[in-house]
Amino acid sequence: MTETGAAMTGTGTGSTTETGAGAGAGSTTETGATMTRTEVAQAVATARVAATAWSRLSPADRAGHMLRVRRKLIDRMDDVVATIVSETGKVATEAVVNEVLVTCELIGWYARHAPRLLRSERVGTGLLAHKSAEKRYEPLGVVGVISPWNYPLVLAMGPVATALFAGNAVVLKPSEITPRVGLLVGELFSSMDEHPGIVQVVTGGSETGDALVRSGADKIAFTGSVRTGKAVMRAAADTLTPVLLELGGKDPLIVCGDADIDRAARAAVWGAFTNCGQTCMATERVYVVEKVYQAFVDRVVELTARVRQGAGSGYDIGAVTHRGQLSIIDRHLADAVERGAVVASGGKPVDVGGRPSLEPTVLLEVDHSMAVMRDETFGPILPIMKVRDEQEALELANDSPYGLNASVFGRDRATVERLVSGLRSGNVCVNDVMVSYAIPALPFGGAKESGMGRSHGAEGLREFTQIKSIARDRFGLHHEPQWLPLPPKLGSVIKIAMRLRYADRPWHRLHSQGDHK
């Protein structure tokens, strides 16, 4: 996510929303007024009551409930998609594929696997063979989710659903830019016959977000900018509330000298321009080995010219969602051109359904002195830089405070593997872009300033649990060797045992130190 936005919102600045607020999942008003700290506290209290019964369900029963919620989402898909399009300006196909479909797949995966992943696990006890040990994954209680505006359904439902599968209740604060999608999420749960209170929705901007972080929730899951993520951490530190942070990215794409140029070019164009570039793992910078640079550029420019931008059906991409984000995009473009970048395609402002936006833009002759190569742009700009070889591409790709996602295109397995291993990134796609997020079993998260913790997969589910470690005595002995009073020669016996167990030449060491006597 970008740096637009006040602390705790997870969103950007811009015009106020027109509809949508709610004290709870089933209680809404007609305006997007900021909710008070008292109202947020009440939502958390309501969720905590609902969490009691929900947490007592078996993981299989919770999975059944979540599948029924998924069916309700499908029943209301047209309404959900229309609301996403209305609030974000993206095209309907993007809303269907990148939001509804990905959400449904994630729910399905956890429904199949959460019962196994949450099962208690026996662990070995080492020397303590007279003991048994296990670890359990227990619900935290109430999880606060602060979600962004760029993918208002999937980036809300992802953490909401995962926390629910783990046995928690949730308080969701959607972006103030897209509150109605968040309210629809709440309605999916509040309209269920059973457990209607497990998802509460609170609306507003930074004040609401800050109130949620300080509300006593047992964990906060935040998706947004680095700056706001740090603010969330500072606020959460006062109560030692744990946080899950998915923050910004400046994702590189490396094109090796032996890459499939057509596939790499198509991937770069989609990775840079889908959702009008407003994706945390969008392709925001490309490094191309010089021997294939011109062929790659020619193909990218050709493909970019074919991208259909507009509102309604028949278009590939929509608009920049709000003016606050567009100002950052314009600033990056102007800075790059002033410093010598060449606009190879696009670069002009355009109106998309009444929203000011920017054409899909390809920049050449770029370098790391430019903001467009250093800072998250979050818009439809694709800067392409020529490099000597793959090693220089790797060094430049790592020359960033971000580390959310990266892509490598090449045929030689050894070279590709060297690049994959060398990239300081939480996710890497090989001969592909952005696809890792759509694989529910694959944990997703960032390195460096791109966040902490993981969503998806076993790791993502267990992010929302408390691990309880349990050790049991097996035989009921009257006295343990280490209990008081200590046996007189316990230390000597333990030393002998340690040398027998750990020394390279145990018998030699015993003899040389006299412990055999």
What amino acid positions are annotated as catalytic residues? 246, 280
Buried b (16+ CB within 10 A) or exposed e, 391-412: ebbbebbeebebbbbbbbbbee
∠ Cα 87 90 95 (to 5°): 90
Q: How many whole angstroms separate alpha carbon 108 and alpha carbon 99?
A: 14
Q: How many whole angstroms separate alpha carbon 123 and alpha carbon 216?
A: 33
Looking at residue 341, the DSSP 8-state letter turns out to be -
Give 33-75 as a DSSP string. PPPPHHHHHHHHHHHHHHHHHHHHS-HHHHHHHHHHHHHHHHH
∠ Cα 465 468 473 (to 5°): 160
3-state helix, strand, coil in the chain (%, to 5): 45, 20, 35
Rg (CA), the chain: 27
**455 touches 440 (CB < 8 A):** no
Q: How many whole angstroms separate alpha carbon 298 and alpha carbon 86?
A: 35
3-state SS class at 218: coil
Classify residue 506 by burial, with Cβ atoms within 10 Å: 0-12, 13-18, 19+. middle
3-state SS class at 15: coil
Going from the C-alpha of 427 to that of each of 13, 146, 422, the distances in angstroms are: 29, 22, 12
CA nearest to 165, candidates 126, 114, 213, 120: 114
